[in-house]
A and B are shown apart, each in its own frame.
Chain A
Amino acid sequence: MSSASRQLFIKTNFDRCTGCELCQLACSERLLGGYNPHRALLQITHTCENLYHFPTVCNQCKNAYCANVCPVKAIGRDSDTSALVVDREKCVACNLCHRYCPLHIVGVDPELKKSVKCDLCGGNPLCVAACPTGALELAWCEKPAEAGEGE
Chain B
Amino acid sequence: MATSYMGKLLWVDLSAQRFRVDQTPEKLQTDFVGGKGFGAKLLYDLTRAGLDPLSPECPLMFLTGPLTATAAPSMRACVVTKSPLTGTYLDSFFGGRFGPEIKYAGYDGIIITGRAESPVYLWIHDDTVEFRSAEGIWGNNALAANDAIKNDLGEPEAMAVTIGQGGENQVRFALISCEYNRQAGRGGAGAVMGAKNLKGVAVKGTQVVNVHDLPAFKQACQQANAAIAESEVCETLTYGGTSTSIPWASLSGVLPYRNYSDQVDPKAEKLGDEAQHKHLFLGKAACFGCPIRCSQMGAVRTGKYAHLITDIVEYESAALIGSNLDIHDIRAVAHLVKLCDEYGIDSMSAGGAIGFAFEAAQKGVINAPEGIRLDFGSVEGAEYLIRSMALQEDELGRLLSQGVKRASEVLGRDTEAYAMHVKGLESPAWGPRGTPGMGLAYMTADRGGCHQRGFMIGYEVGGEEYNGQPVEAHTVVGKAEILKGEQDYLAGTDALVKCDFGAFGVSAEIYARLLTAATGRRVDAGFFSELGERIWNQTRLFNLREGFRPEDDRLPRRFVEEALPSGPHKGQRISEEDMTAMRADYYQVRGWDEQGRPTEQTLKKLGL
Contact = CB atoms under 8 A, between A and B. Distances in A.
Nearest to A50: B180
B307 to A, nearest CB: 11
B157 A38 contact: yes
Interface in B254-304: 282-291, 293, 295, 297-299
Contact of B283 (A29, A34, A36, A51): A51
B70 A35 contact: yes
Interface residues of B, number: 40
Interface in B176-218: 180-181, 204-211, 214, 218
A150 interface: no
A36 B293 contact: no
Nearest to B297: A51
Interface stretch (A17-25, A69-77, A88-96): A17-25
B311 interface: yes
A124 to B, nearest CB: 15
A29 B293 contact: no
B209 A35 contact: yes
A60 interface: no
B104 interface: yes
A18 B209 contact: no
Given A50-B297, A51-B299, A51-B309, A33 B284 contact: no
A21 B293 contact: no
Interface string B204-237: 1111111100100010000001000000000000
B370 to A, nearest CB: 35
A142 interface: no
B206 A32 contact: no
Contacts of B531: none
A111 B283 CA distance: 37
Interface string A13-56: 00100111110011011001111111100000010111111000
A49 B210 contact: no
Contact of B209 (A34, A52, A133): A34
Contacts of B209: 34-36
Contact of B104 (A36, A49, A132, A133): A36
Given A46-B180, A50-B297, A51-B309, A20 B208 contact: no
A20 B288 contact: yes
Nearest to B73: A22
A148 interface: no
Contacts of A132: 225, 291, 293
B293 A20 contact: yes
A18 B71 contact: no
Among A20, A22, A36, A37, the most chain B Cβ lie within 10 Å of the Cβ of A20
Contacts of A49: 143, 180-181, 297, 309
Instruction: Kindly state the interface size class of chain A when it binds its partner.
Output: 20 to 34
Interface in A100-151: 110-111, 132-133
B297 A15 contact: no
Given A20-B293, A33-B210, A34-B211, A50 B71 contact: no
Contacts of B70: 25, 35
Contacts of B225: 132
Nearest to B217: A29
B320 interface: no
Given A34-B211, A49-B143, A20 B180 contact: no
Contact of B286 (A19, A39, A111): A19
A18 B95 CA distance: 14
B502 to A, nearest CB: 12
B71 A25 contact: yes
Contact of B285 (A19, A28, A111): A19
A151 to B, nearest CB: 34
20 contacts: A15-B283, A18-B283, A18-B286, A19-B286, A22-B291, A25-B71, A28-B208, A29-B218, A35-B70, A35-B208, A35-B210, A36-B206, A36-B209, A38-B157, A38-B204, A39-B206, A46-B180, A51-B299, A53-B285, A133-B284
Given A36-B207, A49-B180, A50-B311, 15 more contacts: A18-B293, A20-B289, A20-B293, A22-B289, A22-B291, A25-B71, A26-B71, A33-B208, A33-B210, A34-B209, A34-B211, A36-B205, A50-B285, A51-B297, A111-B206
